[in-house]
Chains A and B, each alone.
Chain A
Amino acid sequence: MDFLNALVALANYVLVPGIAYGSQLALGALGVTLVYGILRFSNFAHGDTMALGAMSAVLITWGFQAMGLHLWVLPTALIALPFAILITIGLLLGTDRMVYRFYREKKAKPVIFVIVSLGITFIYNGITRFIIGSDDQNFADGERFIISARTFKKMTGLEEGLAIKTTQGLTVITAIIVVAVLFWFLNKTRSGKSMRAYSDNEDLALLSGINPERVVMITWIIVACLATTAGVLYGLDKSFKPFTYFQLLLPIFAAAIVGGLGNPVGAIAGGFVIAFSEVTITYAWKKVLGYMMPAGLEPDGLVQLMSTDYKFAVSFVILLIVLLFKPTGLFKGQSV
């Protein structure tokens, strides 16, 4: 029995990846939940908005790398991020002007918005593939690890190593900053308050002289920031591949619904719930149990509850359970 080694193995394979993935999901779910709160539909195009934003960042990063611009030990993509956000803002505002506004003025049913957003999904996806192709693209550079497994072993003398990738650290820090700024904006500024008022009660907000088009515009701008940041962080951490972002839709929606659609705090909590369930259920526990169990009782198999191919099933089952027992989510969302 070796408690310390078990703890380190657990941190290395479950905690660190879980926190990083959870932050990425939380950022994605925040975008979905904001669109839901203000525009009142589930935005299926969110995954591909992330893909498009990340693609812009990839292209700009390549440009900077070609110019010899580097950001010390950090990935160059960080300098590219603001520019990519600008592109995504332009794209989303353009889409809203050309597509969504028409249906908003007609007061179309939410399900029509969902169908329209599905159409947008495929156009975005087409643009992404058209420009960058459907292959894996690597755009991460700079230092790879904050602590590599070998340094950690040398430092502590333990058998197990703990590796923290730069991108993982960066993901968490960026997510904290973005969430802090977002909540400050929603709670303290005039625009943020008008957004919350509009989300709570549309008619009352209109009566109080809040301009709905302005609220919608601010929402899209924030969503563009969130989606691009989430897309770039996910791309840095794993790798950029247009197809994976469509598949991210399911965990992101699950996160938003688990937390309660329309509730930003819930979206963050939901992101971590989904991420940790996915990682713990698809992780092979052999190593951790091997250290924890008394000698002779170590497990023979991998002790993996489900193969990683079914990680989407995990978020789906959680989604079903929440829909069955608590459709408004853990934190009270708007929807029934």
Chain B
Amino acid sequence: MNETLKNTALFAIIAGLIVFTGFQQSWNAALLIISMGLISSIMALGVNLQWGFAGLFNVGIMGFVALGGLAAVLISMPPTEGAWSAGGWGVAGALVLGAATIGAAIVTMKRMAKGWLRTLVMLAILVGGFFLFRAVLDPSVAAIEDINPAETGYIGGLGLPVILAWPVGGLFAAGAAWLIGKTALGLRSDYLAIATLGIAEIIIAVLKNEDWLSRGVKNVIGIPRPVPYEIDLQNNAGFVERAAGFGLDPVEASTLWVKVLYVALFAGVLVLLLWLSQRALNSPWGRMLRAIRDNEVAAEAMGKDVTARHLQVFILGSAICGIAGAMMTTLDSQLTPGSYQPLRFTFLIWVMVIVGGSGNNFGAVLGGFLMWYLWVMVEPMGLWLMHLVTSGMPDGYWLKDHLIESAAHMRLMTMGAVLLLVLRFSPRGLIPEK
């Protein structure tokens, strides 16, 4: 069996599984799996760029995805009335002050001669700057959070179309990646892992606690959509008529049509990114990255700037995760900082890349769909398994209750086991790198 045939067959199997779900459960469920599968594939593409092309280990995918989500809020939500005049400029000024403090400290470090005086001056700048920052920030934040806290209480967005948030989400993630890459790249490979783990936790902490920015755990709901609302479609005579032509009732037709539109949008982004990734992979730049990955010392001896290339690819990969994050928040129409879990947003994506085949873009896409499908299906399957195991036990028996209750934790173990098994027995994944 040749390679193309095998790969096509693999994709066909996934398509078959999803179609089966469509017939078995509902087409709404199937379309939802497809749209989340598309988003997962994009995240996997980003991670594949970092790991598969360059061998960089990023454990902070969750943070970059969340930054994308924040972009969706800041771009598309309507601005909160009076928030900018009450405290928005104050907050912006405080952030500028903070950045200026760090800048001043860096300039001091570069300009002054090494010694205790330099350390002292830098400390003075940083401490003074911090208090100034807090003095400007705190009252502005309080002013913003006081505006109708039950409904807004945050700075609001710009009221622009949500599609714009996707590239902006990529930019946000790229900025965070630059910060991390600048410090941790060029050192041991483990340090990048630890630094990304940290930034992800901090980004989530900021989203959860900075109510003026993201409403924190009160969540931002009702983010505008790039596609029509179901209710508008149902009130649209033309749409109802066309739906009737297909033999569908208006409610079902409208929910399906909205999901189809999402799928089309996401598929467009995926195809574009996949095309770009393929071009990158086969370009001299891609070859250079693989050369660096396979033998860093030799590549450096050939005059390649290893750290700069690593930084470049790290930023690009993270930006792709940010784009996917913005898309996901758009699909959900809400930003819920409490729902970002490392298992779901970092680890699952890793499993997708490894299972699909690291270094191969199509592998990443395949892994994205396959693992998302399994992710959705593992819980009902676990529950079913637990019911099977415990079927011999009497109702109300403590072990039975405990086992059925714990079925939800099966996901953790399943994903861990899948990763370890694939790494051990088939480290090149389903569609290996050429």
- How many angstroms from the CA of A166 to the CA of B184 in the assembled complex? 40
CA distance A109 to B55 in the complex (A): 11
Across the interface, name the chain A residue whose C-beta is closest to B208.
A309
Bound complex: CA A102 to CA B423 (Å): 11
**Is B409 in contact with A126, judged by CB distance below 8 angstroms?**
yes
Question: Within the complex, which residue of B55, B134, B412, B423 is in contact with A126, where a contact is CB–CB below 8 Å?
Answer: B412
Q: Which of A112, A126, A131, A336 gathers most chain B CB within 10 Å? A: A126
User: What is the CB-to-nearest-CB distance from A249 to chain B, in angstroms, rounded to a whole number?
Assistant: 7
Q: Are B193 and A42 in contact (CB under 8 A)?
A: yes
Tell whether, in the assembled complex, residue A249 and residue B412 are in contact, meaning their CB atoms are under 8 Å apart: no
User: Chain B 405-428, CB within 8 Å of chain A: the 1/0 string?
Assistant: 110011111111101100110000
CA distance A42 to B190 in the complex (A): 6
Residue tally, chain A, CB below 8 Å to B = 48
- Judged by a CB distance under 8 angstroms, whether B312 is at the interface is no
Q: Is the CB of B202 within 8 A of A323?
A: no
* B199 and A316 form a contact (CB under 8 A): yes
Contacts A126-B409, A310-B209, A324-B183; A257 near B191 (Cβ below 8 A): yes
Could you tell me which residues of chain B, from 179 to 197, have a CB within 8 Å of some CB in chain A?
183-184, 187-191, 193-195, 197
Main secondary structure of the interface of B (DSSP, over half): helix
A247 and B405 within 8 A (CB)? no
Distance in angstroms between the alpha carbons of A246 and B208 in the assembled complex: 18
Contact at B198–A126, with CB atoms within 8 Å?
Answer: no
Contacts of B184 in A (CB 8 A): 323
The answer to whether A111 touches B130, judged by C-beta atoms less than 8 angstroms apart, is no
CA distance A114 to B411 in the complex (A): 21
Q: Nearest chain B CB to A210's CB is how many angstroms away?
A: 25
> Is the pair B413, A307 in contact by a Cβ cutoff of 8 Å?
no
Closest Cβ of chain A to B390, distance in Å, is 14
A307 contacts B209, CB within 8 Å?
yes
Q: Is the CB of A119 within 8 A of B205?
A: no
The reply to whether B198 and A312 form a contact with Cβ atoms under 8 Å apart is yes
CB atoms of A249 and B55 under 8 A apart: no
Which among B197, B208, B412, B424 is the interface contact of A122 at CB below 8 angstroms? B412
Query: How far, in whole Å, are A120 and B420 apart by their CA atoms in the complex?
Result: 8
Q: Across the interface, do B191 and A126 meet the contact criterion of CB distance under 8 Å?
A: no
Checking A99, A246, A320, A323 against B342 with a beta-carbon cut-off of 8 angstroms, the contacting residue is A246
Chain A contact surface mostly? helix
B418 (CB) vs chain A CBs: closest residue: A119
Contacts of B187 in A (CB 8 A): 323, 327, 335-336
The answer, yes or no, to whether B375 is at the interface (CB within 8 Å) is no
Cross-interface CB contact of B55 among A111, A121, A250, cutoff 8 Å = A111
Given A123-B417, A126-B412, A324-B183, do A312 and B201 touch, yes or no (CB 8 Å)? yes
Shortest distance from the beta carbon of A28 to any chain B beta carbon, whole Å:
14
Question: Is there contact, CB below 8 Å, between B413 and A126?
Answer: yes
Q: What's the Cα separation between A336 and B350 when bound, in Å? A: 26
Q: A119-B423, A127-B413, A134-B409 are in contact. Are A253 and B205 (CB under 8 A)?
A: no
Instruction: Give the chain A neighbours of B209 by CB distance below 8 A.
Output: 307, 309-310
Contact between chains at B189 and A110 (CB < 8 Å): yes
Q: Does A130 contact B (CB under 8 A)?
A: yes
Cα A142 to Cα B158 in complex, Å, equals 58
A157 to B276, CA, bound (A): 74
User: B343: which A residues are within 8 A, CB to CB?
Assistant: 122
Interface of chain B residues 348 through 374 with chain A (CB within 8 A): 350, 354
Q: Is B71 an interface residue (CB 8 A)?
A: no
* B202 cross-chain contacts in A, Cβ below 8 A: 310, 312-313, 316
Question: Residue B11 at the A interface, CB < 8 A?
Answer: no
Complex CA–CA separation, A309 to B409 (angstroms): 26
Q: Which residues of A contact B406 (CB under 8 A)?
A: 129-131, 133
Given contacts A118-B350, A130-B409, contact A335 B130 (CB under 8 A): no
Say which residue of B57, B130, B134, B417 sits within 8 Å of A114 (CB atoms): B57
Measured in the bound complex, the distance between the Cα atoms of B199 and A115 in whole Å is 18
Whether B420 lies near A116 (C-beta < 8 A) is yes
Is the pair A323, B191 in contact by a Cβ cutoff of 8 Å?
Answer: yes
Contact status of A323 and B413, CB under 8 A, knowing A119-B419, A257-B191, A310-B205: no
CB atoms of A120 and B416 under 8 A apart: yes
Instruction: Knowing A305-B130, A335-B188, say if A123 contacts B416 (CB, 8 Å).
Output: yes
User: Which of these, A111, A305, A313, A324, contacts B190 with CB under 8 Å?
Assistant: A111
Give min CB distance, A286 to chain B, whole Å. Answer: 14
Is A139 at the interface (CB under 8 A from chain B)?
Answer: no
Bound form: Cα–Cα A258–B130 in Å: 23
Question: CB within 8 A of A312: which of B205, B347, B414?
Answer: B205
Q: How far is the CB of B123 from chain A (nearest CB, A)?
A: 12
Q: Decide yes or no whether A41 CB sits under 8 A from chain B.
A: yes
Contact A250 B57 (CB under 8 A): no
- Shortest CB distance B182–A (Å): 9
A-side contacts of B34, CB under 8 Å: none
Query: Which of A's residues lie within 8 Å of B, judged by CB?
Result: 41-42, 44, 99, 102, 109-112, 114-116, 118-123, 125-127, 129-131, 133-134, 246-247, 249-250, 253-254, 257, 305, 307, 309-310, 312-313, 315-316, 319-320, 323-324, 327, 335-336
Please list 26 pairs of residues, one from A and one from B, whose beta carbons are closer than 8 Å in the complex, sorted by A's number: A41-B190, A42-B190, A99-B424, A110-B190, A111-B55, A111-B189, A115-B350, A115-B354, A120-B416, A120-B420, A126-B409, A129-B406, A129-B409, A133-B405, A250-B197, A250-B198, A253-B194, A257-B191, A257-B194, A305-B130, A310-B202, A316-B202, A319-B194, A323-B187, A335-B187, A335-B191
Q: Which 9 A-B pairs have the closest CB atoms?
A: A126-B412, A126-B413, A122-B416, A123-B416, A316-B198, A42-B190, A129-B409, A119-B419, A119-B420
Q: With A111-B193, A122-B413, A126-B413 given, can you name 5 additional A-B contacts, CB distance below 8 Å?
A: A115-B423, A122-B416, A130-B410, A309-B209, A323-B195
